[in-house]
Amino acid sequence: MANFSLKVNGKTQEVDVDPTTPMLWVLRDHLKLVGTKFGCGIAQCGACTVHLGDNAVRSCQLPVSAVGEQSITTIEGLSENGDHPVQKAWLEEDVYQCGYCQAGQIMNASAFLKRNPNPTDTEIEDAMNGNICRCGTYTRIKKAIKNASSISNA
């Protein structure tokens, strides 16, 4: 066990955990931030996507010991009132069915749009290909990302 000081959603938080513990479980079990989801544990489904700095990463493969000074943003911290352009676009399109994978989809989409504010369909598909949705909301996700892109650029 070891002590780690983490910057999560703008706040500094202390945890005492095994250094190999993936951030996914630090967030969910220790910091009680359960918006980040467990899907596969091997970085294949994207349900656990968070932002490390400005980059979308799979928190199930990110050991707490590797985080250091970098800031972490989870779905709970993406915006204060759920009004990030991507969140607004998701509401507008009524994207979700079961909703379980959507935090990961939103976190991946928001990091992607920051890098590429005016993506083409193909760029969206490439960027989002690592996020599985078993309910099959892919066409709505794509529409929502395009809408979010126009909200941000308005």
The residues of the shown chain that bind other proteins, judged by CB under 8 A, are: 1, 17-18, 20-22, 25, 28-30, 32-42, 44-45, 47, 74-76, 78, 82, 87, 90-91, 94, 96-103, 106, 121, 124-126, 128-142
What stretches of 68-130 adopt beta strand conformation (E)? 71-73
One DSSP character per residue, 14-81 reads EEEE-TT-BHHHIIIIIS--TTS--S-SSSSS-TTEEEETTEEEEGGG-BGGGTTT-EEE-GGGS-SS
User: Which of 99, 117 has the CB closer to other proteins?
Assistant: 99
Tell me the closest approach of the beta carbon of residue 66 to other proteins, in angstroms: 15
CB of 21 to other proteins, least distance (A): 5
Q: Indicate the residue among 100 and 114 with the shorter CB distance to other proteins.
A: 100
Q: Which is nearer to other proteins, 53 or 98 (CB)?
A: 98
Rounded to 5 degrees, what are φ and ψ at 15? -135, 150
Task: Return the number of the residue (130 or 152) whose C-beta is nearest other proteins.
Answer: 130
CB of residue 33 to other proteins, shortest distance in Å: 7
Q: What is the CA radius of gyration of the chain?
A: 15
Cβ 15 to other proteins shortest distance, Å: 11
Minimum CB–partner distance for residue 119 and other proteins (Å): 12
Do 146 and 125 touch, CB atoms closer than 8 A?
no
Q: What letter would DSSP give residue 13?
A: E
Element (H, E) at 151: helix 138-153
Nearer Cβ to other proteins (53/99): 99
